Structure formats: structure tokens, C-alpha cells
Amino acid sequence: EITALSLAAASEEQPLAGTSLLLTAGPTREALDPVRYLSNHSSGKMGFAIAEQAQRLGAKVTLVAGPVSLPTPAGVTRIDVESAQQMLDAVMAQVEEHQLFIGCAAVADYRPIAVADNKIKKSAESMMVEMVRNPDILATVAAHSKRPFTVGFAAETQDVAHYAMDKLKRKNLDMIAANDVSKPEQGFNADSNALTLYWDGGSQALGYSGKSDQAKQLLLAIAKRL
Amino acid sequence: EITALSLAAASEEQPLAGTSLLLTAGPTREALDPVRYLSNHSSGKMGFAIAEQAQRLGAKVTLVAGPVSLPTPAGVTRIDVESAQQMLDAVMAQVEEHQLFIGCAAVADYRPIAVADNKIKKSAESMMVEMVRNPDILATVAAHSKRPFTVGFAAETQDVAHYAMDKLKRKNLDMIAANDVSKPEQGFNADSNALTLYWDGGSQALGYSGKSDQAKQLLLAIAKRL
């Protein structure tokens, strides 16, 4: 009886036991030439918090990380990448072996069309940089024939619910976690967040809390729907 | 006699005693919208090494730093900035009170012409970003009526001596420290460097060594010409 209770408690504490999670985190860097790049303000904190909490909740975690200054959570397998293309390659090489994918990285939507071999000399008063769209990692994962349960993030500065629901449907995701990065107390470099989760037919506001707590609540909400 | 010897020794060890140094370090970040930016691979290590060594050599040091993850050297006054325009403003507010200026920051040559208030939505397959030239901090300092002894850096990937000498003359600098960032063992993220110094009528190759040693050798070469 004690054993049965303990097992029940363990199962309740580790709802992701037996689940393998593939996760992206941080920004990507898109080279303009050997010294210049385009990037964004993602700190990777939210993704690394998810990796740590998922491992505690019993999951086997593979973390594909853009350039960030964060230590690897204990027990997590980490693959470091720079560009969106490198991140896609690392994800697609791993995707069939995972049941759950969370795209938490702030992947650059565009990259400069050509990387200059040598540093561009400044000679003109103005310069046009032609950018082309990067591959869409989330949509590529969601369109895979052996797709995992696919969760995306939406960092928005306006009409958050509208853009999040649109992204959920357009990219065929199973869930999306939205946050309003125009609010200074949440988002890219903050230690806290206030995610709202959307899925087909439901939503859940997690309220304002630290990123570890947000990560755990997100993972518990996913575990119910896996 | 002992006192005279000690003073001589102290003076030899602190050739920058009584000198005030204004120094820039790190990259700048140029905003494209609230989340995206253009930057470069400068780690700030060389500039921070110069700040630390200058303070040891007796100088009063003010360090204007772009976004880097480095601790402030003991005894150094630090002003944090993000963009080239902010760096220029901080430098010009301080320049008259300093006898020596070293521009070690990798200032972005161009910035996006307009910063979007809200995150740019990706809707097109390609996008043109119009960039305009940033203010030239080194040249602005060197053109000031009460100019300090002005030292610049030249990070090049080809024809290093040619571009360094051209920059020295074109910007009216007193000295330029050049390095070839195409070599993997020196430059932006390396812990070592191999600077060559150029001034009107002379040059000095510092050889390959750690950034602290490079910084000290550079400062001793400057102290001879102040």
C-alpha cells in the first residue's frame, strides 16, 4: 500500500517520466560579414528554465541553444548553434526521436542574403541590406510526418491573443505560449514572465511569476494534453 | 637617496600617473525594432584589459562600455551604453576632462534608418533594410578643439597595414593599433592578440601575447609619446 502510494506520488511529481523533450532556446545570430551580425534580445532564460524543470519532471531533455551565456542544467544534453539554419539542421536531425518539441528560441525571421567574405568597408553614406526569410523551424517540425507534440512561443508587442491564435493555426501547433514583450517586467531579459497558453478550444493564463515557475506550469499543462 | 630611488622606481612603474584616460570598449547595438538589433562579435576583452592596465600604470580611467558581460576593473569608472549615438554622447560629455582617448570599441558603422515602434511582422519573402552611417566617434574626438592624445584601433581582415595607416591619417589620430581579425588566434573573442602600432613616422609590432600584456605594451608605447 505504501509502495502504491509512493508510486502515485512519484508519478504525480514526474508527469513527464518516459517523455523525451527536444527544446530550442536563446536567440540566433545571422552573419552579415565576418564581424557583423543581426540578432535579438532573447536571453535564453525561459528556454533554459523549461529544460531544467522538464528534467526535474522526469523528461529526457535535448536542448538546442543559440549563443547565450547560461550554464547547462544538470542532466540536460546541449547542442550549441549560431544561425537559424544551423538550429533547423540540429532540430531535424533529432526530431524523430522525441515525443515533445518546444520551440522557445527567438529565431531570426530574416538573414542577410549574402555573407561577405571580408569585412564590408564603410564608404557610402547609406547602405541597403537585402534580407531573406529564414526557414521556419516550428512549422517544419509541425509538418513532419512523425511530428512530436509541438509547442511554440509568441513574443508580441501588440494584439497578443490575436497573433498567438493566428500562429497556432497557421503553423499547425498543438499549443502556443504567448507573452507581451512590450511590458518591461516580462519577456526577453526579465527573470519573470506572464504567459498565456492557447490550444485548439482552450486557453490558460499562468499569471505573473518567476521563469522557473512559469516553465513548470507550462510543462504541467502540456503533460495533461500529451 | 633611498627615497629618490623609490620615486624613480614608482615613476617607472606608473608612467601614466597624473594622466586621465577616456576609453571605449565592446560592441554597440543598433536597434532595428524593439526586439531585433545589429551588432558585432567584439567581446570587450581588449578594452577592459586596457582599462585595468592603465589603472595599474597610474591613470585615472573612465570606461564607456557597450553591452558586454565583463566585470568592471577595480578603480575604474564605468558608463554603460548601447548604441553608437549613446557612446558618442557619453564620450563627448567627458572628452575635455581627459588627456588621453583610446577608442577600442567596435562601433557599428551603420544603423537602421528608422527604428520600428512595434515588432516588424514577417510577411514578405525578402526585406530591404536601409542603413545610414553612424557618427564617427574617433574622428569626432580627434577633431575637437581641446583634443586629447587620440588612439584608435583597426580590426581588419585584409591589407591590415594599408588600412591602418589610411585610418591614422584620414581621422587625424596620434596612434593606431591594428590587428588582423581573420586570424583565429587573435581578435574579437580570443584571449590573446598581436597588435601592430602605427604613428606618424614609426611603427611597433607587439608580437603575440595575452590581452593584458598587449594592453600594457600599448600603454607604455603611448606613455613615451604623450
Average pLDDT for residues B34-61, to the nearest whole number?
94
Residue B136 reports pLDDT greater than 80: yes
The verdict on B162 touching A (C-beta cutoff 8 Å) is no
Return d(Cα B130, Cα A212) in angstroms, integer: 40
Q: Residue A30 contacts by C-beta under 8 Å, 6 or more apart in sequence?
A: A37, A38, A39, A83, A84, A108, A110, A111, A112, A134
pTM: 0.81
Average pLDDT for residues B195-224, to the nearest whole number?
94
CA distance to partner chain A, nearest, from residue B66 (Å)? 14
Task: Tell me which residues of chain A have a pLDDT lower than 50.
Answer: 1
Among the residue ranges B61-65, B124-128, B173-177, the one predicted with the least confidence is B124-128
- What is the rounded (10 degree) CA torsion for B9, B10, B11, B15? 120
CB spacing of A40 vs B40 below 8 angstroms: no
Query: What pLDDT is attached to residue B207?
Result: 87
Average pLDDT for residues B98-104, to the nearest whole number?
97
Query: Positive or negative, the Cα torsion across B66, B32, A195, A60?
Result: negative
| Active site annotation includes A40 | yes
- Chain A residue at shortest CA distance from B40: A36
Residue B65 reports pLDDT greater than 80: yes
Long-range contacts, B155-158 (Cβ 8 Å, 24+):
B155/A35, B155/A119, B155/B106, B155/B179, B155/B181, B155/B187, B155/B188, B156/A119, B156/B180, B156/B181, B156/B182, B157/A34, B157/A35, B157/A118, B157/A119, B157/B181, B157/B182, B158/A118, B158/A119, B158/B182
- Phi/psi at A96 (nearest 5 deg)? -70, -20
Average pLDDT, chain A: 89
3 state DSSP class of A138 = helix
The verdict on A129 touching B (C-beta cutoff 8 Å) is yes
> What residues of chain A lie within 8 A of the CB of B106, using their CB?
35
Band (B5; pLDDT cuts 50, 70, 90): low
CA distance to partner chain A, nearest, from residue B107 (Å)? 11
Q: Which member of B40, B69, B119 has the closest CB to residue A37?
A: B40
